[in-house]
Structure 1
Amino acid sequence: MSKFYLVLVLIWMSIISLSQEKDRISYHLNLNPTTNILTVYQTFELTNSSQQDLEEIYIHAWANAYSGRLTRLNEIKLQDRKGALHFSEKEERGHLQYLVISQNSNLLSYEIVEREFVKLNLSEPWVKGTRIQLLANYEVKIPKDVFTKYGYNEQQEFLLKYFFLQPATQDEKGKWVLQHYQDFEELSANPTNVQLTMDQLDEYDMASDLFEENKIWRGENMEHFRLFLTPKPENIQHFKSADQNLQIEFGYALDSIQKDHYAQLLPKQLQFLEDHFGPLPMRKLFISSKTKREQDFLGVDDLDAWILELKLFTEEEKNALKLFQVLAYEYIDHLFVVNKNQDHWIKNGLQYYVMMKYVDHYYPTLKLAGQLPDKLSVLGIKPLNYFHASKLKMNERYKFLYLYLARQNYDQPIETDFDELSNLNQIAISGFKTGISFYYIDQYLGGNEFDHLIKNFSNQNRGKRIQKSDFQQFLQQYASKDLDWFFEDYVDKKDKINFKLVKLTDAEDSLQIHLKNQTEFQGPFQISAFRNEMEVERQWYVSPTKDINVNFPKGDYDKIEVNSNYLLPEFNDRDNFLRTKGLFKNGKKWQLKLYSDIENPEYSQIFVNPQIRWNNYDKFLIGMRFHNQSLLTRPFEWNLSPKFSTGTGKLAGGASVSNTFMPQHGWFQAIKLGGSMKYEHYDQDLTYLKWSLYSTLNFRKNPRETLSHGFIFAYDNLDKEVPQFETQTHEEKYGLWNATYFYSRPDYIHESHGSVTYQMTNFFQKVMGEFYYRWRFATKKQLGVRLFVGTFLENQSNSDYFNFGVSHVSDYSFNLNLLGRSESSGVLSQEYVLAESGFKSKFDFTINRWIVSTNVELPIWKLFDLYADAGVFKNRLQNPEFIYDTGLKIKVIPDFLEFYLPIQSSLGFEPSMDNYWERIRFTFNFNLSSIINHLRRGWY
C-alpha cells in the first residue's frame, strides 16, 4: 500500500515539475537581405499550464499587422497622425506567408483570425500539465522600418522583433489573451527559454538580447527578443559590467565622447540598478536604436536656435541621464513578466522612480533648465534667473507634465489599460505619476524600506510571470505601514488629490493646524516646517475626513507646508503654504512677474506681458496684459489689458474673468463660466463697447479619440458710436443671444468639424449651421468640402447689417480680429474669412432670407489648390438665385497666410476685368491657441 502512495506522490511531483518547466522555442533563420524575406523554421515545446484540456491553440502572427490599412496598427498610427503605413506601397509592407504547422509529422489545420491570430486545431486533446511539440515553417516579408522602427532601413540594416510566431497567453480563467500589435511595447508572453541559429551572412554583424556561444544564441526567461543585423560594425558597441557577468550591447553608433562616458558610467549605473532591484535573470542586455529613440531623456539636448547654439548641460550630465533612462527601461523590463497592457504601471512606475532616485543620488543640485539661466546673458543681464522655472530641480519635471494634463482634465486612472491611455498619458500617468507615487511611498515608509521591499520582491519573482495581486499582496504583507489605500483607493481612481492649509493656531504645547482634504483621497500626507528656507521638522498624518485638525510640534518656524517637494501628485499645490510670522501670516505674499512663468505656489502672482496689435483704426494698440495665468492652466483666470491707441491717442483694451469646473465623473469634461469686456475702434474715430457673459460645456473626451464636442451659451451686449447726424438703425446698440452646438473630429484621413447656432435679438432670429470635411487622399494632399446653411426665422431689422454675408462677414458680434472690419475698398477690404457663405469673389450684396452654399478646395501641386464655391439663396420679395466662383489658392503658410486668385465666377472671367489685383483676397490668421491645438493632435 505504501508503494502505491509513493508512486502517486512521484507521479504528482513529476506533473508539478513538468508544469513548472519553462516553454522552449527554437528558431533557425535564413535572411535574404536583397528581397527582405526571412525564412523561419520554428520548434515549440509548450506546457499546458491551464486547468483544462485544450483542443486548440492560439498563436500570434504579429508580422501581419504590417499587411495593410485594415489593421489595428494602422488605426493606431492614424490616431497618432502618422500616415506612412496607410499610404505605403505593397513592397514596403510586411506579412507572414507560406505557413505550415505540424505535430508528430502530421500537418495541422489552422485559421487566420483578424489577420494577427492563428487558430490552430490540434489533432488530439492537449492534456493539462503535459507538453507538446509543434513545428512551424514560414516566411516573413520584413516591412520597412518607417512604420515602427522595426524592419529594414535604407542602409539595409534589420531590427527584428515581433515578426516570429508567438504562442498566446491565457488568463486565470483559461481564456486566451489575444493582443493586436499596436507598437506600444505592451505585448505580453510567457517566460520562455529561446535558442536560435542562423545561416551565416558574412557581410553582417549581429547584436541581440540573446547570448551567443559557438554561433548559437540562447536566452532564458524571455518574453520577446530582438535581432539587429548591420553591415556596419561600428553600429554595434559592446560593454560589460564591473564583474564581467553582464554584457551590454548597443545597436547604434556612439561617438568617441559617448564611448568614454559610457565606459565610466555603465558600471556605476548597473550597480545602482542591482542595488535597487537585484541581479538580472540573464547575462545580456541589448539597447536598440528604437529604445534609444522612445526612451530619450527629454529636455537635456542642446538648443540650436538658428546661429545660436546653447548647451544646457555638460556632455557627462547629458550622457548620464540619457543612458540611465534606456538602461533602467531594459533592466526593469527583464526582471519579471507582467501583463503590460493591464499592469503596465508596475514596471513603468519603477523605471521613473529609480530615475528620480538616481538624480537624487548623483545630481541632487541639477536644475531643470541646466546651465542655461547662467549662460544666457543680454547686456550683462541674465534674464532667465528672474524666472521661477530657472530654480526648479530636475526631478520636478515629472510634476509639471502631470499637472499640465490634470489641469485640463485629460488625465486617466493609473490602472487604465495601456492601449486606452492617450500617448501623453502613457508617459505622464503610467510613468511619471506612478513614479512620483512610488517615490511618495518610499518617503512615507522611510529608511529606504521601499527599496528593500522592491528588491526582495524582484529577487523572489525573478524570471517569473506576476500579476498586480502578487505585487499588492507582497507590499501589504511586508511593509511596516498600511499601504491598502494605494491599491484600493488610488491606482484605480482618477480623483485628483488636493489638500488645503486653512489656518494655524498656537496652543500651549503644540501648533494646531487646520486643513481641508478636498477630494476622496484617504492616504497619508506630510506636513513640514521651515526656518530660513530649511526644513527643520516633518510629521506624517492620515486623512480620514474632509476637515482635518492636527497637532504639530511647536518651534521657531517661518512657514508650514503640506506635501513639501510635491511628494503627492496634487492637482493644486498653491494652497499648501502658510506663513507663521509677519504681515502675510495665514496668507501669501504678492509677486509681480514680467512674462508668464512656472507658477511659484508660495506667492500670489500677477504676470505682466507687453502687448502690441494693429488694426486700421487704432493703428498700433500698445499696452500691457496683467493676468494670473502661468504656464500651467488654472481653473480661475482673470485678465486686464489696458492699451494705448496710437491712431486715436485714446485708451482702449479689455478685461475678462472665468472659472472652469472639472467634473471627475459625468457627461462633461469641463464647464466654464465667464465674462469679458472689450473697448476699441471699429471705424475712423468710432468706438464700440462689448461686454459678454458666457458658458461653455465640453462633453467628456475619450483621450485616444479625436472627437471634441459641446455647447456654448452666450449673451453679447454691443454699444457702438455712430457718426453724427446719421440715421438711427438697429445696429448701434443691441443684445445678442447665442446657443451653439459644436463638434470637431480632426482625424488624419477624414477630418470634420461643424456647428449649429441659434441667434436672437429683439428684431431678428436666425439659425445657421456649417459642416466642414477634409479628406487626405495622399500624404500631403487633402480635398476640402464645406457646407453652410442659414435662414432667418424672423427679420425685422431696418438695415442689412445682420444679413448673411456672401463675400464678406459683417461680424456684428465682434468675435473676429479683422484688420479693417469697416473697409469697403483698398487692401484691407480684401481680407477673407471663411465664414457664412464663404465666397471669395466680391459679390456686393447680402442675404436677408436664406442661403445654402458649399466651398470646395482641391490640391493640384505643392502650395497651389483649386477652389470652387457655389450656392443658392433667396432674398425678400425675390426669386431664388444661383451663384458660383472658381479660382486658385496659394498657401504661403497653410491655414495662416493664404491668397485667393479668382478666375471664373457669376461675374464673368475675372482676370480680364479692370483692376484685377483688387479682386485678390487674402487670409491672415495668427492664432496661438490654434497652433497649440494643431501641435497636440495625436497626443491627447
Structure 2
Amino acid sequence: MFSQQNSISIKSKLDTKKDELKIQQEIIFYNQSDSILTKVYLHNWANSYRDRKTPLSKRFIKDFRKDLYFAKAEELGSSLIKSLSVDFENVYFKELDKQADIIEIDLDKPLYPNSKITISITYIVKIPNARFTKYGKTKTGYHLRNWYLTPAVYDNGWQLMSNLNLDDLYEKSTDFKIEIDVPKDLIVESNLYQYKTKKENTNSYYLIGKNKTDIILGINKTEQLKTYTTKTVTVHTDVFSKELDYNLTTSILNRELLFIQKYLGKYPHVEIFIDKTTQSKNPIYGLNQLPNFLRPFSDTFKWDVTMFKALTKRYIENTLLLNKRKDYWLMDGIQNYLMIEYVEQYYPEVKLLGKVSNSWFLKRFNISKLDFNDKYPFVYQFTARKFLDQALNTSADSLSNFNRKIVSKYKAGLGFRFLKGYLGDSILNQTIQEFYQNNQLKIIRSTNFNQLLSSKTTKDLDWFFDDFVKTNKKIDHKIESITKEKDSISVTIKNKRNITTPLALYAIKDKEIILKKWIADVDSTKTVKFKKGDYDTFVLNYENLYPELNTLNNWKKVDKKILNKPLKFSFLKDISSPNYNQVFYQPDANYNFYNGLILGVKLHNKPLIKRNFDFKISPYYATKSKTLIGSFSLLYNQFFEKTKIYKVAYGLSGGTSDYAPNLSYKSLVPYVDITFKRKTLRDISSESLRAKLIHIDKEIAPNAIKTDQDNYSILSLSYNYSNPDIIKEFRYSFSTEFAKKFSKASLDLRFRTLTTTDTQLDFRFFAGVFLNNKTEGDYFSFGLDRSNDYLFQLNYLGRSESSGFFSQQYIITEGGFKSVLPTRFANQFMVSNNSSIGLWRWIEVYNDVAFLKNKNHPLYFAYENGIRFNFVHEIFEIYFPLYSNNGWEISQNAYPEKIRFSLSADVKSIYNFFKRGFL
C-alpha cells in the first residue's frame, strides 16, 4: 500500500533572536498518477505572510481584517529559498504569479508514472506573529503549522491552493524525519514520535512519523500538553479543563473514542494530537463563546462535546485524504452526524440554552424548549429564510464566513441524519464505516462515498447527491388538507418548492409518535391514506430529521377547528410556535427634543427566524409633549432564485411624531425596494433600486396659514451602490424627486481609502440640481450645512432647532459642510466636495469646498476646514471648525456652539458595522 510513499526529511535550527527556522529539506516525491509530469509544485504556505499582496492578506481584507495588511516588518513571515535541486541538479523554479505560497519547479527530465525524484531545498522560514492565523510566534513561544514545504497533490491535474486561513492544505500521507535544534531553555512538542538529546547550548529533537500529514510543532519554555492513555489510542492535548480531574477526563476520552470507533472503525495511528489553537478555530458555536460567569452548561458537558468535536475532526482528517477545499462537506457531514448521535445518546436532556432554559424568565419562551441538537435545523433555517445559504459542493473559499463556519457544516450533518432516517441507520452507519476503513490514507473524493452508499440500497439517492448537495434548493412541504372517512384518514401533502425529496409523516397523540411513514416522489401534491387510530395531529418532519425552509405549515389537527391556530401574545422575540399565530410585544424607548423621553411598546410578528411578511405597530407616550405618538410598518419580501434580483420588498410605513415644539407631523410612505444579487456571497458590495411615495402632513401653529411646505407628496426614485471594502470603500447613490412644484436630481458619491501607511483619506462629492422649481423659500432647497430633511428620513434629535445643542447635530448629507455660512441653501444647484485626511489614529483634518447657485443671485463659493475626531465612522464623530468664509472660526465668539457632532442611534447601522467580516 505504501511502497511508493512520499517522504520528507528535515534538518532545522531555530533562531529565537530573528524568529527564523534555518531548514535543509529533502523530499522524495513519487509520481503515483498515470500522467507524465514535466513540472512539480510545492506548497510554501510559510510565505503567505510575506506582504499585503499574498492571497492570505487579500482574504483578510475581504473579511474586514487589516492586521496583516498593515503589519510591521518584524511581524511578517516569509520563506526565502536559498537553493533548490532535483536529483542533485539545479533546476528552474519560480513562485506562481499572484500566489507567492506556491512554487513551480520545471523538471529537466519527464517524471514517468511509478517513478520518483529527490527534491533538495535549503531555505529560511521567518516565523510570523501568531495574531494573524494563531500560528506563528506566540506570547510564550511558537506554535507552528504549515511551516515546511510539501508537494502538491496530483489528482487529475495539480491541486493547487493558497493559504486562506482555512486550515485545509491538501496533502498525501508522508513519512517524516525531522531534526530540530532549539535553545536549551525551550521544549518541542509535536504530533510525531520524538527523541530528545541535550547539547551544550541547545536541545536537539528527532521527530519521526509514518503516513502522516499536517505536522504541528509547539515550542515553549514549559510543556503544554497532557497525555491521556485510553483503551484505543494515546491522546496528547492542551485542551483540558481545570475543573475536571485526570481520571474523569480519561474516562470521558475513553467513552468518546469507543463511540467514534463504533461508527468509523479502528484508527490507523497509535496516537492522536489535538492542539487548542486548531480546536479554537473550529469551536462549538453558542457554547465556547459564552462568558464563564454565565455557565449555562456543566463543566463536564462543555469539555466533553468540545473535545468530542476536536477528536472526530482529527480522527477523520488524519485518515481520509479528501480535498478539504472542495469536498469539505463530506468530512463536515460525518463529523456533525457523529456529534448529533453522541449528544442524542449521552445528553438527550440538555437544552439549547442549557440550565438557563429553566430560569423563571426564559422558560416561557419556545426557544428554551429546544434541545441542544435542535440548533442544527434552527441555524440552517435562520439563514435559508434569508436565502443566504449555499450549495454544499461550493468550494470552501467561496463560502460566506457564516456558511463556512456554521451553516454548511450543520446542513451537511443534517444531510446524514436525513439519510439515516430514510435508509435506516444500519445502511448508513455500515457505509460510513466501510468507507472509512477501506480508504484510510488514500487520496479519495466524495463521489466514492456516493457510489458506495448507492450500492447498498435500491432506493434512489439522486435527490441527495444532485439536489441536496449540489444546489441550495430548499425543502418545504405542507399538509394541505386532512379528510376523515369511515375507517380511514386521507392526508394531502403539497410540495411548495422545486426539489423532490423523501419526507417523513407522523401521526401524533399528546406529543407522542403513534405512527411514522416515509413518503417519496412528492413533486407537487400527494394524498396518503391511513387507518383511523388514536391520534389527534399529523406532522411532517416531527423529529427535525432534515432541514426545511418552513416548519410552521407542517402541522394539521385531525379535527378541524374554526381557529386552527389561535392568536397568542408573546413577550420579546422568540421562535415561532406551530400551534399559534404569535404577536410579540416588547418595551421600547426613544428620545427627541420635542417629545422628550418616548416610552411605548412594539407589537410585531418578527420571530427569531425571518418571515416573508412582517408587520410592526408601535404606540408611544411622549413624556415631554404629553401626547400619544407612534408608527407602523408592513413589509413583504419576495425572494428570487433564478434571476439577478435577490429580493423585492413591498412596504407601507407611516407614523406621527413632533417636528417642532407642540407641532406634529404625519407620514405615509408606500415603497418598493429591489435588491440585486451579489456576484458571490463573499462579495460585500450591494446594489439596489428604491421607489417610494412620501406623503407628509404637518401640523401648523395656531393662526398660521397652511402652505405647500406643510402638506405635500413626493415621489422619490433612487439607485444605490455600496462596496464597503476596509481598504477602499466606494459608495454612491443617484436619486430623483418629483413633486407638484419641483423636481430635482442629485448624486452622492463617497470614497474612502487607507494609504500604505494606514492613513485614512475620505472623499465625498455631491451634485444636486433642480429640474424645475416653483417653490418659495428654502424648505425644499439643497442645504449646505444641514438638510431640511423634508422626507423625514434622517434621525435628527431636534430637527427644527436653529441654535443650541441639538442644532449642532451633524448628519453628512447634501453640502456636507460643518460651519454655518451666510449662504446656507441653493434653489438652483449645488456642487460640493468634502475631504479629510488622517493625522493620527482617529484624528483627521477636513477640507470642504462648494458652489451654490440661487435664483437672481451670483454663484457663491464656500470653503472651510477643521479637525475631525472620527471615533466610529459615521456613527460617532466630532468636528471642530478652524477656518471658513467666516474667517478664523476658533477666534470668534461662542466657539463651542460651532462644534458639530455625529451620533447615530440607528441600531441597524451599528449592527451592520460590527457584523462585518462574519456574515
TM range (shorter): over 0.9
Structure 1 residue 648, shift from structure 2 partner: 4.0
1:624 paired with 2:601, answer yes
2:117 is matched with: 132
Q: Which residue of 1 aligns with 2:35?
A: 52
Residue number in structure 1 paired with 2:175: 193
TM alignment of 1:465-480, pairs within 5 A: 465-479=443-457
Structure 2 matches for 1:400-549, cutoff 5 A? 400-479=378-457, 481-549=459-527
- CA drift of 1:78 comes to 1.1
- Picking from 186, 202, 208, the partner of 1:218 is 208
After TM superposition, give the deviation of residue 38 of structure 1 in Å. 1.3
**Distance 1:364-1:23 versus aligned 2 partners, 3 A rule:** same
Mapped contact 1:211–1:283 kept (Cα < 8 A): no
Change (3 A) 1:160 1:616: closer
Residue 652 of structure 2: aligned partner: 675
1:73 corresponding residue in structure 2: 56
**1:241-252 matched pairs, under 5 angstroms:** 241-243=230-232, 246-251=233-238
What is the 5 A alignment of 1:191-590? Answer: 191-199=173-181, 201-212=183-194, 216-233=206-223, 235-243=224-232, 246-251=233-238, 255=242, 257=244, 259=246, 261-301=248-288, 304=291, 309-375=293-359, 382-479=360-457, 481-581=459-559, 583=561, 587-590=564-567
> Take 1:750 and 1:374, find their aligned partners in 2: how far apart are those partners?
48
Q: 2:881 aligns with which of 902, 920, 926?
A: 902
1:378 alignment partner in structure 2: none
**1-structure distance, mates of 2:162, 2:601:** 54
Partner of 2:199: none
Q: 1:911 to 1:40 in 2, by over 3 A?
A: closer
Structure 2 residue identity aligned to 1:230: N
- Give 1:930 deviation, angstroms: 1.0
Amino acid at match of 2:4: E
Distance across 2 between alignment mates of 1:863 and 1:123: 56
How far has the Cα of 1:370 moved from its partner?
0.7
Partner Cα separation in structure 2 for residue 334 and residue 584 of structure 1: 59
- Return the letter of the residue paired with 1:675: L
Q: Give the Cα separation in 2 of the matches to 1:905 and 1:736.
A: 34
- Between 1:250-259 and 1:134-143, the stretch displaced more is 250-259
Deviations 1:144-178 (A, max 9, x none): 211111112232x2222222111122232xx2222
Query: Secondary structure of the residue that 2:448 maps to in structure 1?
Result: helix
SS of corresponding position for 1:491: helix
- Flag the 1:34–1:388 CA change in 2: closer, same or farther, 3 A: same
SS of equivalent residue, structure 1 residue 40? strand
1:116-131 equivalences in 2 (<5 Å): 116-131=101-116
Structure 2 counterpart SS, 1:738: strand
Task: Determine if contact 2:760/2:837 at 8 Å carries over to the other structure.
Answer: yes
Name the CA distance, whole Å, in 2 between partners of 1:260 and 1:94.
41
> What residue number does 1:613 align with?
590
Contact 2:70 2:758 in 1 (8 A): no
Q: Secondary structure at the residue paired with 1:876?
A: coil
Q: Secondary structure at the match of 1:934?
A: helix
- Aligned to 2:708, what secondary structure does the other structure show? coil
Q: 1:897 to 1:200 in 2, by over 3 A?
A: closer
Shift, 1:628, TM fit: 0.3
The AA in structure 2 aligned to 1:219 is: G
**Aligned 8 A contact 2:240 2:303 in 1:** no
What are the ranges of 5 or more consecutive residues in structure 2 without an aligned counterpart? 197-204
Q: Contact (CA 8 Å) 2:379, 2:407: kept in 1 or not?
A: no
Q: Distance in 2 between matches of 1:27 and 1:767?
A: 68
Secondary structure of 2:674 counterpart: strand
Q: In structure 1, what is the Cα distance between the partners aligned to 2:182 and 2:655?
A: 76
Decide whether the 8 Å contact of 1:280 with 1:334 is kept in 2: no
Question: How many angstroms apart in 2 are the aligned matches of 1:817 and 1:734?
Answer: 20
The separation in 2 between residues aligned to 1:176 and 1:891, in whole angstroms, is: 48
Partner of 1:141: 126
Structure 1 residue ranges without an equivalent (≥5): 1-16, 376-381
- Secondary structure of the structure 2 residue equivalent to 1:137: strand
State whether structure 2 residue 788 is matched by structure 1 residue 830. no
**Aligned residue type for 1:136:** I
The percent identity for this pair of structures is 29
Give the match for residue 684 of structure 1. Answer: 661
1:93 is matched with which residue? 76
Aligned equivalent of 1:878: 857
Contact 1:682/1:821 (CA < 8 Å) preserved in 2?
yes
Q: How far apart are the structure 2 equivalents of 1:693 and 1:287?
A: 57
> What secondary structure is seen at the aligned counterpart in 2 of 1:398?
helix
Task: Report the alpha carbon displacement of residue 269 of structure 1 after superposing the two structures with TM.
Answer: 0.6
- Partners of 1:191 and 1:463 within 8 A in 2: yes
Alignment partner of 1:705 is 2:653: no
User: Which one-letter code corresponds to 1:359 in the other structure?
Assistant: V
Partners of 1:293 and 1:45 in 2: CA distance: 34
**CA displacement 1:128-153 (0-9 Å, x = unmatched):** 22222332222212212111111122
- Judging changes above 3 Å, is the alpha-carbon distance between structure 1 residues 424 and 145 closer, same or farther for their aligned structure 2 residues? same
- Tell me the TM-score normalized by structure 2: 0.95
- 1:578 and 1:588 in contact (8 A); partners too: no
Equivalent positions of 1:162-177 (< 5 A) are 162-172=146-156, 175-177=157-159
What is the distance in 2 between the residues matched to 1:750 and 1:186? Answer: 29
RMSD over equivalenced CA pairs, Å:
2.2
1:182 is aligned to: 164
Q: CA offsets, 1:803-850, max 9 Å, x none?
A: 001122111111122222122222222222111111111235311011
User: Relative to 1, partners in 2 of residues 1:892 and 1:606: Cα closer, same or farther, differing over 3 Å?
Assistant: same
Q: Could you say if the C-alpha distance between residues 239 and 728 of structure 1 is closer, same or farther in structure 2, counting changes exceeding 3 Å? A: same
* 1:651 correspondence with 2:628: yes
Which deviates more, 603-612 or 66-75? 603-612
Distance 2:278 2:882 in 1: 53
Instruction: Name the aligned partner's letter for residue 336 of structure 1.
Output: L
From the superposition, tell whether residues 453 and 910 of structure 1 become closer, same or farther in structure 2 (CA, over 3 Å): same
Structure 2 CA distance for aligned equivalents of residues 165 and 685 of structure 1: 74
- CA offset digits 1:389-427 (Å, max 9, x no partner): 211111112223222222222111111011100111112
Stretch deviating more after TM superposition (433-442 or 163-172): 163-172
Give the Å deviation of 1:261: 4.3
Instruction: After TM superposition, give the deviation of residue 657 of structure 1 in Å.
Output: 0.8
**More divergent stretch after superposition (667-676 vs 685-694):** 685-694
SS state at 2:472 partner: coil
Question: Which moves more between the two structures, 465-474 or 198-207?
Answer: 198-207
Which residue number in structure 1 is paired with residue 142 of structure 2? Answer: 158
Deviation at 1:608, TM superposition (A): 0.7
The aligned amino acid for 1:828 is F
Moved more, 685-694 or 349-358: 685-694
Separation in 2 of the partners of 1:815 and 1:123?
69
Q: Identify the residue that residue 5 of structure 1 maps to in structure 2.
A: none
Q: Equivalents in 1 of 2:135, 2:143: separation in Å?
A: 5
| 1:931 counterpart SS class | helix
Determine helix, strand or coil for the equivalent of 2:33.
Answer: coil
- Point out the more displaced range, 636-645 or 208-217: 208-217
**Structure 1 residue 253: Cα displacement:** 7.0
Give the whole-Å Cα distance in 2 for the aligned partners of 1:509 and 1:502.
20
- Describe the superposition over 1:843-895 as per-residue Cα deviations: whole angstroms up to 9, x where unpaired: 35311011111222333345543333221111112221211222233456654
Deviates more, 1:929-938 or 1:543-552: 543-552
What are the superposed Cα offsets for residues 905-929 of structure 1, whole Å, 9 maximum, x if unpaired? 1112223322222222222211111
For the 8 Å contact 1:261–1:319, the answer to whether it is kept is no
Question: Is 1:851 aligned to residue 830 of structure 2?
Answer: yes
